[in-house]
Each structure stands twice: as C-alpha cells, then as structure tokens.
Amino acid sequence: MRALQFRRNLPKYAAAMVAGGVVPGLGARVGPLRLADVDEPDLPGPGWRRIRPRLAGICGSDLSTIDGKSSRYFEPIVSFPFVPGHEIVADSDLGRVVVEPVLSCLPRGIDPPCSFCAAGLTGSCQNIALGELESGLQIGYCADTGGGWSTAMVAHESQLHAVPDAMSDEAAVMVEPAACAVHAARRPAVDQPETVVVLGAGTVGLCTIAAVRRHLRPGTLIASAKHPDQRKLAVELGADVVVEPGEVRRAVRRMSRSPMVGDSVGEGAEVVFDCVGSAGSIDDAIAVVRPREHVVLVGMPGRVALDLTGLWHKEVRLAGAYAYGQESTGERTFDLAFDLVRDADLGRLVSATYTLDRYRDAIDHAANAGARGAVKVVFDLRGERNR
C-alpha cells in the first residue's frame, strides 16, 4: 500500500528542525517523512478492523512533527516508523466511519482498564505505551496501526463511529478536531460566562469558537485572528468581537470595562482558550484572564519560556485540554462533535485536498494555511491506486 511514513532518522530530523524553523512546512522536503510502498499493517487482535481512509486531515501536531518541533515529551509514547494522520474518515466493512484515534486500554487489550479509561476518560489513559500494541498515544503515532495518510490502516472497533449518510466526507473529517474543541469547551466548569476569549483562529481556534458558542454560551466571545478569512469565519462561527493577536489585551480590557494593571487586564475574561500554544499566546492568556479563573491550553504548546508571575499572582487555573472521551455529563465527546460539525457546518473549513503524491505541496499549504486563506488541508485518498 502507499503511505507517507515517518521514520526515526536523527540527521534528517535535525535537518527538518532547521528547515522548518526557517520556512514552516519545509521539513517535509528534507526530513524523515517519505512516500513509500509499505506492507499493510496486521490486525493486532480481536476487535480490530481494516479500514481504508477516504480523507485524512493535516493537524498542527503533524506539522510540528514534520518540522522537527515536537516536544521530547512524546519520545516514549510514539513508536517508529509510523504513518501520520489521526483525523480520518474511512471506508470499513461497517460503512463510512470516523476514527476516534486515542489508543487507550480497550484497543490495547488491557483488562482491567486504568482508572481513567474505566471512568470513560480515555484521553487520560495511562497505558498508552503498554499492552498488545507498540507505544503510541494515538493512531497516527503508533507503528502497529498505520495512520490516515495511507490507503489502508487498522483501527479497533471501539474507535469507529458510523458517519450518517447525509454527512459529507469533508464534514466527517472535521469530527475529530471538533471533538477536541468540544472537550476543551467542556473543560472549565462554568456556564454562561460573561466573557470568553479564544486566542487563534486556525482549525483548532475556529472549532473552539463554534464549540464555546454552543456549549458555554458566553455573553461575549472575543477571538483573535491573524488573517482576514479567519476573521470572517470566526464571526460566522460565533465570535462577537474579532481582533488581531496584538490587540487582544486592549479588546478584553474594553469589553470587560476594567482597568489595566501594567500589561494585565484587571477584571478580564472568565475563560481563555489558547489555541495557538506559543509563549506569546500563553502570556496573553494569563494577562487577559480574570483572577482565579481559567486558562485552557487547547493548542499543543511544546517547550516555551514563560514568566509565570502573573499566573501565580492572579491565582489562575491553567488547564490542558487534550483529545476527548466521555464528558462530565456522561455524553461521549464524539457524539457531541458530530452534532457540532452538523450544526456549525464545519465541513466548510476544509479548504484544499491533495493526493499523497503531492504531499510536499500539501504540507506547505497546511503550514501556511492562514496566510493563504485556508483552514484545513486534507489528503484525499479516494482516488489512490491500491486502495
């Protein structure tokens, strides 16, 4: 089968790190990612099924990996070589399915499950390097499962969600990022807050805006967006005020009608979702959040240098929001995500599709999506040979 494969190759990884540091996406040209004919993965055990991806998205975490920017935190929880791609809509013997990629206790054949999986919190599974599979926190980072950037892969039946006939492939491929956003929106235990801020308006940011509007129902939702198309989409998805990233502190100050204390907003927002994950965005988040309230890191931050004095002084609650599972209401995040994709028409965020042959162009497009008026770039496997 044809697949984009990421191998352990330190010199190439170093080259990707240098190239990706200069031009985002350039790591695809010099790094360890390659298009290859490889064997289809074996079925790891009972309950596993072979599926054939139709569309597979390119995520920010994929781009970090390709450009050599991933945190070393991931070293023990990935296995090489792996086929990237965890935003997947695929054909299976059950029909069209969306994959919930977390490789938790159940797919790993671990029984009894860890306390988190037992509670339905599969995103917090502590056995992601154990069991019948090689290490891998998700499909797309595990050597045994393959990934979405290929013509074939395997997934456990517990990971498969049937796609309604009325839902297009483009909408279905947005279910996984939408699930991340729903989980993030549900992360702080607040309802109808006065002011919420979403920093960043890439795929994660836009999905989070849509999720926050529907799940938190804030009085005012302020979003930051770099590019004109992002601004337009942010408003369409539920932002009341959209500003440029450098303007967010003043916007929050004005909307909250509070004083400034140095560079920090005195009253600020009850919840800030950081969908960028840079030192600057986290710094902004801490500056604009109301004392004792919530900053949620939705975008994968990696290694950043921060002055945390403000966090300490304002007693800010800093939380991560990773993946999905079961929310506190007992609902499965993916079920809520299907609703969000349909209600907010998130399929429109798919801006471009590429074949595997053009993976370098695809990565380049995805790495510069905002500036090029795009949001989600996906691989289209529907016409691939050997599928």
Partner 1 sequence: MSRPGFVLEVDRSTPPILFHHGEGFRLERLPAGSRVVYPAEPVAPLKDPDAAIRHALLNPVGDSQPLPSLLHSGMKLTIAMDNQAVPLPPMQQPDNRQRVIEIVLDMAAAAGVDDVELIVAHGLHRRQTEAELRHMLGDRIYDAFAPHGMLTQHDAEDHDNLILVGRTEQGEHVELNKRAVTSDLLIYVNVNLVAMDGGHKSTMTGISSYRSLKHHHNVTGMQHSRSFMDPPNSELHNSTWRMGRLLADAVKIFQIETTVNTDTFPSQFAFLQKREWEWSARDRASYFGVSKSLERVPPRIARSIFHGIKSPQKMTSVQAGEVEAVHKITLENVHRQHLVPVQGQADVLTMGLPYVGPYNVNSVLNPLLVMCLGLGYFFNLYRGKPLVRQGGVVILSHPTRWEFHPVHHPSYIDFFEQVLTETTDPLEIEKKFEDDFATDPWYIHLYRNSYAYHGVHAFYMWYWGAHALQHVGQVIIVGGEPRAVRRMGFKPASTLRDALEMAEDVVGRNPSITHIHNPPIFLADVT
Rounded to a whole number of angstroms, the minimum distance from the CB of residue 203 to partner 1 is 23
Closer by beta carbon to partner 1, 247 or else 307: 247
Measured N-to-C along each axis, helices 333-344 and 175-186 cross at an angle, to the nearest 10 degrees, of 110
Closer by beta carbon to partner 1, 133 or else 241: 241
Rounded to a whole number of angstroms, the minimum distance from the CB of residue 370 to partner 1 is 17
Rounded to a whole number of angstroms, the minimum distance from the CB of residue 237 to partner 1 is 17
Closer by beta carbon to partner 1, 30 or else 241: 241
Question: How many Å apart are CA 256 and CA 23, to the nearest integer?
Answer: 38
Closer by beta carbon to partner 1, 254 or else 313: 254
The secondary structure of 220-239 as a DSSP string is: EEEEE-SSHHHHHHHHHHT-
Rounded to a whole number of angstroms, the minimum distance from the CB of residue 230 to partner 1 is 13
Contacts of residue 224, defined as CB under 8 A and 6 or more positions apart, other chains included, come to: 197, 198, 199, 200, 201, 242, 243, 244, 245, 247, 248, 284
Return the residue matching tokens 């349909």: 342
The two structure tokens encoding residue 170: 């483009």
Are 5 and 34 in contact by the 8 Å Cβ rule? The answer is yes
Rounded to a whole number of angstroms, the minimum distance from the CB of residue 253 to partner 1 is 7
What are the CA-CA distances from residue 38 to residues 89, 150, 151, 152, 366 (Å)?
21, 10, 10, 10, 25
Closer by beta carbon to partner 1, 81 or else 266: 266
Residues that bind partner 1 (CB under 8 A): 241-244, 247, 250-251, 253-254, 257-260
